[in-house]
A and B are shown apart, each in its own frame.
Chain A
Amino acid sequence: EDQVTQSPEALRLQEGESSSLNCSYTVSGLRGLFWYRQDPGKGPEFLFTLYSAGEEKEKERLKATLTKKESFLHITAPKPEDSATYLCAVKGSQGNLIFGKGTKLSVKP
């Protein structure tokens, strides 16, 4: 059964304090690993798609990396506006996304 596990559940950082979020997955044939950002009261917002081990994608202070078993979302020098819940998902055999429960990130000024 395809499964996604994210850690930690919550992460509190000071502004400028870099860190990483983890997403481990088990899937029968990776068809894509997706990162989303979700703000309170909003739907998830697409950030990145990764397809193969060793692939990296960057956007502003965020960098996503992928290995055969997990993905990391690295946040460099975060700002308060980076506070959100970050969701990881893999594409299932039906084309739907299978999501982890997310990491709630809080960045304090």
Chain B
Amino acid sequence: GAGVSQSPSNKVTEKGKDVELRCDPISGHTALYWYRQSLGQGLEFLIYFQGNSAPDKSGLPSDRFSAERTGGSVSTLTIQRTQQEDSAVYLCASSLALGQNSPLHFGNGTRLTVT
């Protein structure tokens, strides 16, 4: 079946502009996660959703970052007033549930470049 789909695959934006990244999880997966991967760095956890709810937003790097999920499916990560340090690959993952027997399945990410 279809995997996790992310769009766009690449995004180049000017400093100060807002960007919106989209994630379409695997059908039936209730948990959805956003990560950021910078060059030479590990995957940095940003936020997760169980259904439409995000219980803990403390992983978001700043208040310029926000995320929402509607209908228990598609999620969007919005970055306002982008800065050069926001340049990274943003990865989305989904899993059947938050339980320990549910591995995360990742999309191929959105590569964001802020000029």
From 68 to 109 in chain A, residues with beta carbon under 8 angstroms from any chain B beta carbon are 87, 89, 91-92, 94-102
Contacts A32-B100, A41-B108, A43-B91; A99 near B56 (Cβ below 8 A): no
B45's contact among A32, A97, A101, by CB below 8 Å, is which? A97
A43 and B109 within 8 A (CB)? yes
The CA of A4 and the CA of B93, in the complex, are separated in Å by 19
A44 proximity list for chain B (CB < 8 A): 43, 91, 106
Q: Are B48 and A95 in contact (CB-based, < 8 A)?
A: yes
Distance of B40 from chain A, by nearest CB (Å): 8
Given A32-B100, A46-B105, A51-B100, are A99 and B42 neighbors across the interface (CB < 8 Å)?
Answer: yes
CB distance from B37 to the nearest CB of A (A): 9
Q: How large is the interface on A (under 10, 10 to 19, 20 to 34, 35 or more residues)?
A: 20 to 34
Return the CB mask of A11-38 against B: 1 if under 8 Å, else 0.
0000000000000000000011010100
CA distance A31 to B23 in the complex (A): 26
B71 contacts the other chain (CB 8 A): no
Q: Are A96 and B48 touching (Cβ within 8 A)?
A: yes
Q: CA separation between A49 and B59, bound complex, in Å?
A: 24
Contact indicator B4/A96 (Cβ below 8 Å): no
* Given contact pairs A41-B108, A42-B108, A46-B105, A95 touches B42 in the complex (Cβ within 8 A): no
Task: Given A95-B48, A95-B98, verify A46-B108 contact (CB < 8 Å).
Answer: no
> Per-residue 0/1 for B86-102: is the Cβ within 8 Å of any A Cβ (1 yes, 0 no)?
00000101010011110
List A residues at the B interface (Cβ < 8 Å). Answer: 31-32, 34, 36, 41-46, 49, 51, 87, 89, 91-92, 94-102
5 pairs, CB–CB < 8 Å, chain A vs chain B: A32-B101, A87-B42, A96-B45, A99-B42, A101-B42
